[in-house]
């Protein structure tokens, strides 16, 4: 299986040599493979935000990240939509998978829920689905922002943007 990764010619402001990567994944397996590759390049304290409409493949991407962190074979990654968070342990890093789709109280609710504390764990990778639902929350600048778009019923376009030096280094290893 070959996943083609092309460097975007217009990187983020302030990171002129940082790659903005676009991947065309033709199946759920290829979407998962991109997640695996990204997780391999991330270190503890990293944040990945995931945007995309319902059914775009955000949880599939996170499932790949769990594989990339060498989670034990019995770990099953599912959407945390109704519970807000799943925590997966036993791999290279702890994986916090947060879904804030149902959060309606903004940044104050996120803070009060205790979920913000995950961002301070230096031995963890934090994946947040639907970050756009908290426009008033001050997400850390150094993060990988992932946008997953439907191309057709099976294919997805995955765009990954770094927000700082550490996330840019993780994306460079994919290019």
The CATH number linked to 100 is: 3.40.50.300
pLDDT band at 12, cuts 50/70/90? very low
Of 14-18, 38-42, 100-104, 171-175, where does mean pLDDT reach its minimum? 14-18
HSE-up of 93 (CA within 13 Å, CB side)? 24
| 15 found inside a domain | no
| 132 found inside a domain | yes
| 121 found inside a domain | yes
Q: Which of 66, 59, 47, 35 is nearest to 122 (CA)?
A: 47
| 107 found inside a domain | yes
What pLDDT, on a 0 to 100 scale, did the predictor assign at position 105? 87
Q: Domain range holding 106?
A: 33-172
What pLDDT, on a 0 to 100 scale, did the predictor assign at position 17? 56
Strands 21-25 and 46-51: unpaired
- The percentage of residues in the chain with a pLDDT greater than 70, rounded to a whole number, is 90
| 104 found inside a domain | yes
DSSP secondary-structure letter at 123? Answer: T
Question: Between these two residues, 161 and 5, which has the higher pLDDT value?
Answer: 161
Q: Which of 120, 130, 125, 121 is nearest to 43 (CA)?
A: 125
In degrees and rounded to multiples of 5, residue 9 shows phi and psi of: -75, -10
| 64 found inside a domain | yes
Q: For residues 83 and 80, what is the distance between their CA atoms, to the nearest angstrom?
A: 5
- Quote the number of domains for the chain: 1
Tens of pLDDT, residue by residue over 44-82, are 999 999 999 999 999 999 999 999 999 998 899 999 888
């Amino acid at each position: 299986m070959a996943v083609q990764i092309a460097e975007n010619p217009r990187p983020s402001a302030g990171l002129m040599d940082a790659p903005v990567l676009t991947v065309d994944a033709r199946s759920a397996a290829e979407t998962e493979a991109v997640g695996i590759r990204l997780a391999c390049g991330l270190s503890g304290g990293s944040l990945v935000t995931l945007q995309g409409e319902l059914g775009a493949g955000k949880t599939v991407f996170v499932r790949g990240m769990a594989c990339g962190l060498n989670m034990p074979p019995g770990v099953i990654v599912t959407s945390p939509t109704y519970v807000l968070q799943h925590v997966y342990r036993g791999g290279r890093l702890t994986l916090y998978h947060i879904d804030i789709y149902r959060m309606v109280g903004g940044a104050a609710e996120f803070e009060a829920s205790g979920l913000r504390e995950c961002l301070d764990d230096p031995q963890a990778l934090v994946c947040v689905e639907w970050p756009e639902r908290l426009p008033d929350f001050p997400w850390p600048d150094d993060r990988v922002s992932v946008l997953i778009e439907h191309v057709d019923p099976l294919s997805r376009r995955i765009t990954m943007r770094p927000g700082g030096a550490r996330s840019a280094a993780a994306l460079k290893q994919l290019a």
